[in-house]
Structure 1
Amino acid sequence: MPSILTIIILVVLILFLLGAVFMVKQQTSAILERFGRFNSVRNAGLQFKIPVIDRVAGRINLKVQQLDVFVETKTKDDVFVGLKVSVQYQVVKTQVYDAFYKLESPSAQITSYVFDVVRAEVPKMRLDDVFERKDDIANAVKSELNDAMTDYGYDIIKTLVTDIDPDEQVKEAMNRINASEREKVAAEFEAEAERIKIVAKARAEAESKRLQGQGIADQRREIARGLEESVEVLNKVGINSQEASALIVVTQHYDTLQAVGTENNSNLILLPNSPQAGSQMLNDMIASFAASSQIGEEMKKNKTSNKEA
């Protein structure tokens, strides 16, 4: 049977072997110290150390990390606004020593610089400019952080302004302004559409009246031509022009009476409308034409006498 001393030696040996081996994960670096002083940086894989003498002081994450910082500040036009700045950073693999020993809290350091830069840049801008120039703010933060964090072994990969949140009352006012602008544009479009309708309607009415006038002119031209032909026909049978004109007027008078008579619901009354009206009208017109002709002859004689005198 093994002695107690042998068992103790085996246990110590196993503990020694276990203390001499440690694992380092991928994208991680381990800081190894010997008697409390920095000894070496160990990378991913199976690593060895001297038990009791060496110890793993800490591990550094080499992955790209993100820190979200919310900053509240005031713009140039006295509007309080909150900005969310996302900073993506990474430990430089060749500067693990600086990242572990030089900086106690990288997240607190980065947060301080973000606050400093944002509160220096945003008060120079109006609220609208903050929305339009958020990339300029992000670039300013990145530039400042790169200058400050490089000495500590950190590389700033990218900075993003991911959210801009003005005061609630300001957002309501902005929404009202936006709604008013949209209503104004809608009203302008409606007015323009109404103007186009009015112009189109006026043009259509003008064209209609032009065509109507042309039709009336053509109608009167044809009527005059028909009257001329009627007078010529009557002249051939011995009726002079005055009598022919009177006869045509009387004929049209009776044609009109006939047309009115065919309308069942017509309330039109032509005066005079007695049976003797046509004969009387014819006699009156012939007498009128004769009197007019005599007056014309007298005026011509008087004009000729005045010239001779």
Structure 2
Amino acid sequence: MAPSIFAILALIVIGYTVGSVRIVNQGNQALVERLGRYHRKLRPGLNFIVPFLDTIVWEESIRERLLDVDPQSAITPDNVALNVDAVVYWKILDLERTYYEIENIQDAIRELVVTTLRSEIGKMPFEKTFSSRDELNRALLDHLDEATEPWGVKITRVEVQSIVPPASVLESMQQQQAAELKRRATVLEAEGEQQASIKRAQGTVQSIELLSEALKERPDAQEILNFLIAQQYVEANQKLGESNNSKVLFMDPKFLSEGLIDLMNTPVTPENIPNGEPRPQRPKNPPRK
């Protein structure tokens, strides 16, 4: 009889001990209620509770986690409809408040993100939403962190993943960007042509100045100038003749004849040739017998 009682007592003690042991994994916490009221919080490791009196009502991770919010429709102040989605990084700081202050913390955060996202998009003009994404992220983070603080939750980061306008608006944006790029290219090309024209003009002025200085002390300066002008005329007409396009050239024959006569009458010597290289003269016609 006595051994049976001891055996029963031993079984009761063993069962009580086994029933009172609770192991909480690292990164988790658990809430214990005693007779329906909050009693204490279990930390990671080995814990003991009172069987039949204590109940573990919730064991949850306190590590940072990710909440991916599905794309949501939002309207800007200039009446452009956008599809916006975001991701939220959050963690539980106070497990007791998270359990007793809100029914479903993850659904609550998701709905709060959607509401806040639409509200912030409604404050920004359409063109600003793309360039001010960092500003939008900070506004969402500040508002969400403040709103979830009574729930014992910390919002660590909010990132807007994408902002997608309607197809018609997107096409207009692409056309506007292409027009802007074309305008910039035209401006750059015009500036380049202007700078090239200035350089050519400066080069011409410098050439004239050098030629003027070189001819100041020469008694045959007029003949050299006539030769240079005639040479430029011949070269210009040669280039004009080599072109494949049709040309119509109007000139005063008097000026042409006078220029050619002056060119023919100018004596060709090494001194009045610009490059200093003498050219052979045409032999005079022999006298007729």
TM range (shorter): 0.5 to 0.7
Matching residue's letter, 1:119? R
Instruction: Compute the displacement of 1:141 (Å).
Output: 2.9
Structure 1: 5+ residue stretches without partners: 224-253, 276-309
- In the other structure, the counterpart of 1:61 is 61
Kept in 2, the 8 Å contact 1:27–1:44? The answer is: yes
Superposed, 1:226-245 pairs within 5 Å as none
- In the other structure, the counterpart of 1:180 is 179
Instruction: Compute the displacement of 1:216 (Å).
Output: 4.1
Instruction: Compute the displacement of 1:257 (Å).
Output: 10
- In the other structure, the counterpart of 2:79 is 78
Instruction: Compute the displacement of 1:202 (Å).
Output: 2.3
* In structure 2, distance between residues paired with 1:255 and 1:108: 102
Matching residue's letter, 1:29? Q
- In the other structure, the counterpart of 1:156 is 155
* In structure 1, distance between residues paired with 2:266 and 2:42: 125
SS at match of 1:121: helix
- In the other structure, the counterpart of 2:198 is 199
* In structure 2, distance between residues paired with 1:191 and 1:11: 99
Matching residue's letter, 1:25? N
Superposed, 1:132-281 pairs within 5 Å as 132-220=131-219, 266=282
Q: Per-residue CA shift, 1:45-90, capped at 9, x if unaligned?
A: 1001223332221113212223232432111222222223333322
After superposing the two structures, state which structure 1 stretch, 161-170 or 123-132, moved more: 161-170
- In the other structure, the counterpart of 2:52 is 52
1:51–1:189 CA distance, 2 compared to 1 (3 A): same
* In structure 2, distance between residues paired with 1:139 and 1:264: 86
TM superposition score normalised by structure 1: 0.63
* In structure 2, distance between residues paired with 1:81 and 1:204: 57
Structure 2: 5+ residue stretches without partners: 223-264, 271-277
Q: Per-residue CA shift, 1:102-152, capped at 9, x if unaligned?
A: 212112111222222222232232112222333443343334333432222
The reply to whether residue 22 of structure 1 matches residue 22 of structure 2 is yes
Name which one, 1 or 2, has greater alpha-carbon Rg.
1
CA RMSD of aligned residues (A): 3.8
Kept in 1, the 8 Å contact 2:215–2:221? The answer is: no
* In structure 1, distance between residues paired with 2:214 and 2:36: 116
Matching residue's letter, 1:180? A
Matching residue's letter, 1:46? L
* In structure 2, distance between residues paired with 1:151 and 1:138: 21
Aligned residues: percent identity? 23
Matching residue's letter, 2:73? E
1:133–1:256 CA distance, 2 compared to 1 (3 A): closer
1:207–1:177 CA distance, 2 compared to 1 (3 A): same
- In the other structure, the counterpart of 1:116 is 115
SS at match of 1:60: strand
After superposing the two structures, state which structure 1 stretch, 203-212 or 120-129, moved more: 203-212
1:140–1:189 CA distance, 2 compared to 1 (3 A): closer
Matching residue's letter, 1:33? E
SS at match of 2:194: helix
* In structure 2, distance between residues paired with 1:6 and 1:82: 72
Matching residue's letter, 1:191? A
Instruction: Compute the displacement of 1:177 (Å).
Output: 2.3
Matching residue's letter, 1:41? K
